[in-house]
Structure 1
Amino acid sequence: MNRIDRVTAILIQLQSRKVVKAQDIADRFGISLRTVYRDINTLCEAGVPIIGEAGVGYSIMEGYRLPPVMFTREEATAFLTAEKLIEKLTDNSIRESYQSAMYKVRSVLRSSEKSLLEHIENRIEIRQKPLPPGLANAKHAFLHPILQSISEKRSLQVQYKAFNKEQSTDRLIEPIGIFYAYDCWHVVAYCHLRLEYRDFRVDRIRNLHLTAIPFSREHPLLKEYLQQNASNRKLQTVVIEVEKTMMRYLETQKYEYGFVDQTEVGDYVEMTFFTAWPEAILRWFTLYAEHGRIISPEALIEQFREKITRLYQSVALPVTV
């Protein structure tokens, strides 16, 4: 990227946030802080009203705006791809807001970029696993009020149906963030019922209401909480061995179970996992058990023997009428 393009991009970045740190600009463009200072000075000399505060960052004086920017073909394509992802992986509230934003983005595109999007729009498809019955046609729009709760620091009243529970429970929660994993959205929140932070699956929320009750405490950032939570877990080392011919089926699945390393041993591949839930690895390994073995820990090997015995007994013993 040449200097003119970089300075223009820095100006757009400054308009995208209330305050932008010099280090964030340096990290984005791979330049030194000295170069950042020179580029900011160039913008100031060009008449851009930039306010700089030591230890805080840069901001643009309220009211200053550039005219609508022109997007490149690659940026326009990225917007379209993001639209497809949001359409499939979010709820109605986020989809409708993003579609409204996309109309505004499309309105400032050049004719050639508009033609490009129209040409490839039906050539990008996001496939996902079918939703469970009852959720496939769900009209709930919970992500937006959850984010509103976080932004305004107002508690949520939710009706939540936990896994393997017949009845839903009413909970007052204080969300700290949302994340997407294992084909569903999660909200991490302080739960007043359990008096601790909990991970709630959004698809198990049956009802939700944004209250006027303010948060009762200062909460950690989501990233900090997840990192701290992971470090507090008692991780166990699990080692399994499978035939090389089976690896094509396992390559994309192993990362869901804490995979860290693998080594080829003859006709087998030895895989090592760090996990807080060795039972989950056991259930997964059972699918491929005839093509491998558990090496350690011994307790998991014993659990596997018991599991196989129960499975054998369930199919071998005669059914009494």
Structure 2
Amino acid sequence: MNDHYLKKLDRVTAILTQLQSRPLVRAQDLAKKFEVSIRTIYRDIKTLENAGIPIVGEAGSGYSLMDGYKLPPVMFTKEEVLSFITAEKLMQNFSDQSLGIHHQNAMEKLRSVLRHSDKNLIQSIEKKVDIFNYPPVSGEHIKNVIPIIMESIAEKRQLTIEYRTVDEKISTRTVEVVGVFFEFNYWYFMAFCTLRNDFRQFRIDRIRQIMKTQNPFLQEYGQINDYRSKPNGNKTRVRLMVDKKIVGHLVNSKKYYGIIEEILHEEGIEMIFETDWIEEGFPRWLITFADYAKVLEPDSLRSKIRELAERILNRL
């Protein structure tokens, strides 16, 4: 069997897996995924149909398996089996506790359909892989909080939350969740807040109570990154001149604090930010490398840094 037919066999098998895992699959998406023409995808679909696979749909709309049709368990490659180990370790270290339990249950089901040799492979290597992570200690924890949030997204139902802000104030919010994300050791969700009539970012470990309501979303939402990247009227423009030798250590954190532009100068790197956390978070981050940075604007940030430095000195 030549390479052409081997590639086609692999692609057709992968298309069948896509049909098993999704309610509707478009030819355009398959063509992009496998880097072939749409006409090639049409031929592959025809190959599956000729093999007796009951595919519903047509060119131009999308394809799916006939409702109720079942296929035997998928066989995994050795590389795929090994990837499960890494995924399991990541979930153990970086997921919400309740989400991790659900993933662990799913992994047990997955292990049950593996071949005997693959089970032995996992058992022999899983103790050889670890992820060293030092997550921050959270306060009160609510069971199933992330699954509840995800259910509200899927069902397009509003949530009511009791939320503790960074200054320890408690407020009750009704929100419509756009999406969930993990960043800098914390889980967050982006949502439209009906109290503020605007989009807000909430840290999940600060939720004290959560309840899914029967109220539907008042509007449709896109992808989470569409809203995380949108500036709002509360952002403050900050300009810093930063020593070149320290910039490399700010690669990840500068994105978190709203970097929008960097300009190379002879005396350093001018870093321009738009930040929501000018009152507290940004000054505390800046003071960690303040001996290598100069505040160009705003003047209020210079005052905050001085006040923060004085408070630190008074505690020494």
TM-score per shorter chain, which class? Answer: 0.7 to 0.9
1:154 aligns to what? 157
Structure 1 residue 46 corresponds to structure 2 residue 51? yes
Identity fraction in percent: 37
For 1:129-168, what aligned pairs fall within 5 Å after superposition?
A: 129-132=134-137, 134-135=139-140, 138=141, 140-166=143-169, 168=170
Q: Could you say if the C-alpha distance between residues 127 and 273 of structure 1 is closer, same or farther in structure 2, counting changes exceeding 3 Å? A: farther
Distance 1:161 1:119, change over 3 A: same
Q: Which runs of 5+ in 1 are unaligned?
A: none
Residue type at the aligned position of 2:185: D
| Inter-CA distance 110–306: structure 2 relative to 1 (3 Å threshold) | same
Alignment of 1:152-231 (within 5 A): 152-166=155-169, 168-211=170-213, 213-223=214-224, 225-226=226-227, 229-230=230-231
Q: Does 1:255 align with 2:262?
A: no
Query: Is the 1:161–1:204 Cα contact (8 Å) retained in structure 2?
Result: yes
CA distance in structure 1 between the aligned counterparts of 2:312 and 2:205, rounded to whole angstroms? 35
C-alpha spacing 1:216/1:251, structure 2 compared with 1 (3 Å)? closer
Structure 1 residue matching 2:241: 3-state secondary structure: strand
- Larger deviation, residues 223-232 vs 41-50: 223-232
Distance in 2 (CA, whole Å) between partners of 1:160 and 1:78 is: 37
For 1:13 and 1:4, locate their aligned partners in 2 and report how far apart those are by CA, in whole Å.
Answer: 14
**Do the aligned residues in 1 keep the contact of 2:56 with 2:64 (CA within 8 Å)?**
yes
**2:216 is aligned with what amino acid?**
F
Residue 65 of structure 1: how far off its partner (Å):
2.3
Write the letter of the residue equivalent to 1:181: E
Which aligned pairs between 1:107-118 and structure 2 lie closer than 5 A?
Answer: 107-118=112-123
What is residue 69 of structure 1 aligned with on the other side? 74
Given the superposition, is the C-alpha separation of residues 32 and 11 from structure 1 closer, same or farther in structure 2, using an over 3 Å criterion?
A: same
Q: Distance in 1 between matches of 2:235 and 2:308?
A: 29
Structure 1 pair 149–56 and aligned structure 2 pair: CA distance change class (3 A): same
Q: 1:293/1:33 Cα in 2 relative to 1: closer, same or farther (>3 Å)?
A: same
* Correspondence for 1:306: 303
Are the aligned partners of 1:26 and 1:33 in contact in 2 as well (CA < 8 Å)?
A: yes
User: Which ranges of structure 2 fall in alignment gaps of 5 or more residues?
Assistant: 1-5
Shift of residue 232 of structure 1? Answer: 7.5
CA RMSD of aligned residues (A): 3.1
Contact preservation (8 Å) 2:174, 2:195: yes
Q: Is the 8 A contact 2:157 2:217 kept in 1?
A: no
**Cα distance in structure 2, aligned partners of 1:35 and 1:103:** 37
Task: Name the CA distance, whole Å, in 1 between partners of 2:252 and 2:310.
Answer: 33
| C-alpha displacement of 1:48 | 1.1
